[in-house]
Structure 1
Amino acid sequence: MRPGTRAVASVVRPVALARRSLATAPGLTVVGWHRVDGRTSDGLSTGIDDFRRHLDVLEEWGACVLPLAEAAARLRAGTLPDRAVALTFDDGYASVVETAWPLLRERGLATTLFVVSGILAGQQFAWDAHEPAPCRTGRLRPATAEELVAAADEGLDIGSHTVSHPWLPALDDDRLLAELVESRAVLEDLLGRPVRSLAYPTGGWDARVRAAAAVAGYSVGITVDRGLNTGRVHPLSLRRAFVPTEAADLRHVLDGAYTFLRPLDRWRSRGGPPW
């Protein structure tokens, strides 16, 4: 996080804490990562030591980590515990099942991995195309179907991240629905269990996309618009923040100090991904 942004968050934090203390019901904080691959944190990568520190901060903050489906249901019902948090990963990297998931299991922390179903047929992630081949088959390797099934059997929740990770608002109605329906069908067939959660690729969503997600059978949809989820937030457009590298910044996220960036999130999301 840039020093200037962190400085603003430090000023905003007391206001965010005061607003939370005055709320009539607890809210839900959703946080996310992409891959935990052993390297120093950089872009989509989170270093293992940094990830451990993130989990320490969650514990020190007193987070009540809930499975995503339960958290969303209790948000709607108004029965969330204080400091409720749901943990997520996007894309479907092997490092999540190889490295992050065992660390989470050690602490008894539930999490959801949103999988681009096209990787099961050998598709590579477009944003990693510039990386050398050894990286794409090593630390940047997508998880295999067998690895996902094994992790799911251990309790890792699997959600959809579409078939090919497109910018959903730009698709026509037919292709939009196909991306949502086919991904869910492939994952359900693989896992032998329902898949009802969706993370919009690159946070790309609007009212039409959200309506299509409902038609496709999803009950939970995750954006990248930062902020606390209250009972007024639609369950198919829940807010989420990706975890910054510095543990102190995660504390700001949990306290709601970076919510002031949400208008910027929405403005950026109109442009679509860079690849």
Structure 2
Amino acid sequence: MLKRASNALRRALAPRDGCIILMYHRVGAPGCDPEHLAVTAGKLAEQIAVLKRNRTVVPLSWLKERMAQGLSVAGTAAVTFDDGYADVLHQGRPALARLDCPATVFLATGAIGTGANMWWDLVGRLFLVSPALPPEVTVARQGRRQSIALDAADRGSRMRAYGQVSEMVRPLPSRERDAVVDDLVRQIWGAREDRDEDRLMRPEEVQAWYSKGMFEIGAHTVSHPSLPTLPAAEQRAEIAESSRACTTLTGEPPTGFAYPYGHYDAAVMEAAAAAGIAIAVTAEKRRIGPAEPMLALPRYYVGDWDAAAFARHMSFQA
């Protein structure tokens, strides 16, 4: 597969602009998706077909090696998925395999095998799906309490509450974030309800996904925190422990690392380097330039777009 990719690059008649990395999360049509993270399998296939007509799609490991040698990556693309949702294996991998498209999944390793839903999926279902809501909920964080008024009959009220809570909890350390979400679960549902369709992969599913040089695994921290908000020791632990877990799952070191929410700074990059990470990706939308730092590579968010819309967003030929 790598040989075919290299041959395709050599056959290119003219140089194209820098590499692009695509950022996906889920494949399917979940019942609640306020962050627009999911792409259906059909749309994914359409998008990859357009991508392959315009770019040579390469594994992230190929990109890492090429950039480390200072060689050109013009005209290439890499496909990535954050978090490690099980639907990426069950609905995404078959579509990618049919199109001979390599991809990397970045694992939030703390949730692998637990069946626990990510906090944003829980908060989305709490406020946007629950048939009944109390007139208000209280969010307790960092020693302060804030009340949020709710109107179950008003979709706008539900969306505002979801947005407020998401903005409040996203920057919190994971233990405090999870305590806030658990308290909201108690106020609205009484008991936690994790959905199987929203879970991350199990260890055996990670192994079913993994194929060196084709379907690769990267690290994405243990608990999916906003890394710049953490003390240096916790930054290092989140990155290093996630990397070790990926190695245990596949028998190989992770291909690279993705910063949760795309949040990073110089200290976080240093922590990644100290953990042995050679390539890391953000959520900044642009093509990879000739002198791009390998620990802060940009990526393009991809939505549930048809082929024509995808081509417009990527500035491709349809």
- For the pair 1:63 / 2:55, whether they are aligned, the reply is yes
What's 2:26 paired with?
Answer: 35
- For the pair 1:198 / 2:257, whether they are aligned, the reply is yes
CA drift at 1:49: 2.1
Which AA in structure 2 matches 1:106? Answer: R
Distance in 2 between residues matched to 1:76 and 1:254, nearest whole Å: 26
The alpha-carbon distance between structure 1 residues 39 and 108, as it changes in their structure 2 partners (threshold 3 A), is same
- For the pair 1:47 / 2:40, whether they are aligned, the reply is yes
CA drift at 1:54: 1.0
Distance in 2 between residues matched to 1:84 and 1:135, nearest whole Å: 42
What's 1:267 paired with?
Answer: none
CA drift at 1:196: 3.9
What's 1:266 paired with?
Answer: none
TM-score, normalised via structure 2 length: 0.67
The DSSP-based 3-state class of the residue aligned with 2:224 is: coil
Which AA in structure 2 matches 1:149? Answer: Q
The alpha-carbon distance between structure 1 residues 147 and 24, as it changes in their structure 2 partners (threshold 3 A), is closer
Structure 1 unaligned segments of length 5 or more: list them.
Answer: 1-22, 257-275
The alpha-carbon distance between structure 1 residues 134 and 88, as it changes in their structure 2 partners (threshold 3 A), is farther
- For the pair 1:108 / 2:166, whether they are aligned, the reply is no
Of residues 122, 126, 134 in structure 2, which corresponds to 1:129? 122
The alpha-carbon distance between structure 1 residues 51 and 134, as it changes in their structure 2 partners (threshold 3 A), is farther
Identity %: 30
CA drift at 1:26: 4.5
CA drift at 1:138: 3.1
Distance in 1 between residues matched to 2:73 and 2:241, nearest whole Å: 35
Of residues 167, 178, 186 in structure 1, which corresponds to 2:237? 178
Distance in 1 between residues matched to 2:309 and 2:231, nearest whole Å: 38
TM-score, normalised via structure 1 length: 0.77
CA drift at 1:231: 2.3
What's 1:157 paired with?
Answer: 216
The alpha-carbon distance between structure 1 residues 63 and 34, as it changes in their structure 2 partners (threshold 3 A), is same
CA drift at 1:72: 2.9
Map residues 1-275 of structure 1 onto 2, 5 A cutoff. 26-38=17-29, 43-60=36-53, 62-80=54-72, 82-120=74-112, 122=114, 123-130=116-123, 131=125, 136-153=194-211, 155-246=214-305, 247-255=307-315
Distance in 1 between residues matched to 2:72 and 2:227, nearest whole Å: 31
CA offsets per residue over residues 3-57 of structure 1, 9 Å max, x none?
Answer: xxxxxxxxxxxxxxxxxxxx98741100011100245986111122221221222
Which AA in structure 1 matches 2:314? Answer: L
Distance in 2 between residues matched to 1:207 and 1:76, nearest whole Å: 20
Distance in 2 between residues matched to 1:171 and 1:81, nearest whole Å: 34
Which AA in structure 2 matches 1:178? Answer: A
The DSSP-based 3-state class of the residue aligned with 2:196 is: coil
Structure 2 unaligned segments of length 5 or more: list them.
Answer: 1-13, 130-190
The alignment covers a number of residue pairs equal to 233
Preserved CA contact (<8 Å) 1:112 1:159: yes
Distance in 1 between residues matched to 2:67 and 2:243, nearest whole Å: 24
CA drift at 1:204: 0.5
Distance in 2 between residues matched to 1:104 and 1:97, nearest whole Å: 10
The DSSP-based 3-state class of the residue aligned with 1:129 is: helix
What's 2:182 paired with?
Answer: none
The DSSP-based 3-state class of the residue aligned with 1:213 is: helix
Q: CA RMSD in A?
A: 2.5
Distance in 2 between residues matched to 1:180 and 1:143, nearest whole Å: 19
CA drift at 1:95: 0.4
CA drift at 1:244: 2.7
CA drift at 1:74: 1.9
